[in-house]
C-alpha cells in the first residue's frame, strides 16, 4: 500500500541540522526543511544572520553559532540540539565555498599557492567531514534507528563534474566531497543512515554575484556563457535546490543512498552543440 504523499515527502517530527545556514543556499534549504515539518538547527559562524533566520522560523529553529572546522564548537552545537530536541535525524552539509587564492585568473595554475589550495580543501572537504563525524555519531547511535529515517545530504557542485575555468581548487575539493558521500553511504548503511549529495549548477549567491551579474543586474560575459550552456536558459532559484534536499531527506527516498543529484537546469547534460 502506498503511503499518502504527505507522509512520503513530509518531514514531520524530524530533527535537522543545516551547516552554512547563513548563506543563500543553506538558508533556503533550512527554510524548506522547516516548511516540510522539520525542526532545524541553523549552524554557521554569522550569529546575526542565524538569529534573523531563526526568528523567521519561530519555535521550529535554533541558532547554532559554530565553525565547521572546529570540532569543539560542533560538539557544543550538537549538545544544544540534543538538549533541546533529544536526537538528530538529518544533517545537511551546506557550508563551503570558493577561496580567491585557489582560483586561476590573475595568476596562472603554475603560480597557485599550496596554502590556498589547502584552505579551499579544508573549507569544503574537512568542513563536510567534521560535521558528519560529530552529528553523524548521534544519528548512528539513535535508539530507535530501526524505525526512524535518518539522512545526511552533502552539497557538492557541478564544478566536481566539469572542468570549469578558474575554480581549480574548489572543483577538486567538491570532487572529494562526492567520493566521501559514496564512501559514507556504504559505511553508515548498517546504522540506518542514508548519505547522498546534491550538485548545484549555477545559482546567484554572495560569492559569485559579481562574476555572473554586473551592477545593473545584467549578465556579465561569464554569466551569458553559463546561461547559453544551460538548457533551462537561466540560473537556478534557491528553493529549487531545497526541494531536492527535502526529497532526499524524506521517506520517498528511503531506498536512495550513495548518489549525487545534479540540480542544474540541464547544464551537466549539455555538450554545447
Closest CA to 27 of 54, 45, 9, 48: 54
Q: Looking at 9, 125, 170, 203, which residue is catalytic?
A: 170
270 within 8 A of 230, measured Cβ to Cβ: yes
Closest CA to 161 of 206, 131, 117, 199: 199
Catalytic (active site) residue 170:
yes
145's grid cell: 534507528
Please name the residues in contact with 136: beta carbons below 8 A apart, sequence gap of 6 or more: 91, 152, 184, 188, 193
Closest CA to 249 of 37, 80, 41: 37
Closest CA to 265 of 233, 239, 242: 233
Positions marked active-site: 170
Amino acid at each position: 500500500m502506498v503511503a499518502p504523499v504527505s507522509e512520503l515527502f513530509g518531514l514531520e517530527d524530524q530533527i535537522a541540522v543545516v551547516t552554512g545556514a547563513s548563506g543563500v543556499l543553506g538558508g533556503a534549504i533550512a527554510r524548506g526543511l522547516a516548511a516540510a515539518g522539520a525542526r532545524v538547527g541553523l549552524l554557521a559562524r554569522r550569529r546575526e544572520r542565524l538569529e534573523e533566520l531563526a526568528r523567521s522560523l519561530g519555535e521550529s529553529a535554533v541558532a547554532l553559532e559554530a565553525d565547521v572546522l572546529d570540532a569543539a564548537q560542533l560538539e557544543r552545537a550538537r549538545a544544544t540540539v540534543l538538549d533541546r530536541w533529544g536526537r538528530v535525524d538529518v544533517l545537511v552539509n551546506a557550508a563551503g565555498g570558493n577561496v580567491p587564492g585557489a582560483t586561476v585568473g590573475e595568476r596562472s595554475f603554475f603560480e597557485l599557492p599550496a596554502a590556498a589550495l589547502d584552505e579551499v580543501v579544508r573549507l569544503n572537504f574537512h568542513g563536510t567531514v567534521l560535521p558528519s563525524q560529530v552529528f553523524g555519531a548521534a544519528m548512528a547511535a539513535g535508539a530507535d534507528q530501526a524505525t526512524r529515517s535518518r539522512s545526511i545530504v552533502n552539497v557538492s557542485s557541478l564544478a566536481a563534474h566539469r572542468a570549469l575555468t578558474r575554480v581549480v581548487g574548489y572543483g577538486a575539493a567538491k570532487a572529494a566531497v562526492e567520493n566521501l558521500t559514496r564512501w559514507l553511504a556504504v559505511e553508515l548503511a548498517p546504522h540506518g543512515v542514508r548519505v547522498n549529495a546534491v550538485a548545484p549548477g549555477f545559482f546567484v549567491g554572495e560569492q559569485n554575484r559579481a562574476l555572473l551579474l554586473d551592477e545593473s543586474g545584467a549578465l556579465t560575459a561569464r554569466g551569458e556563457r553559463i546561461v547559453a550552456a544551460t538548457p533551462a536558459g537561466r540560473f537556478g532559484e534557491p528553493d529549487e535546490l531545497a526541494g531536492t534536499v527535502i526529497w532526499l531527506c524524506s521517506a520517498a527516498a528511503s531506498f536512495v543512498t550513495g548518489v549525487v543529484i545534479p540540480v542544474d537546469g540541464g547544464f551537466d547534460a549539455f555538450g554545447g552543440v
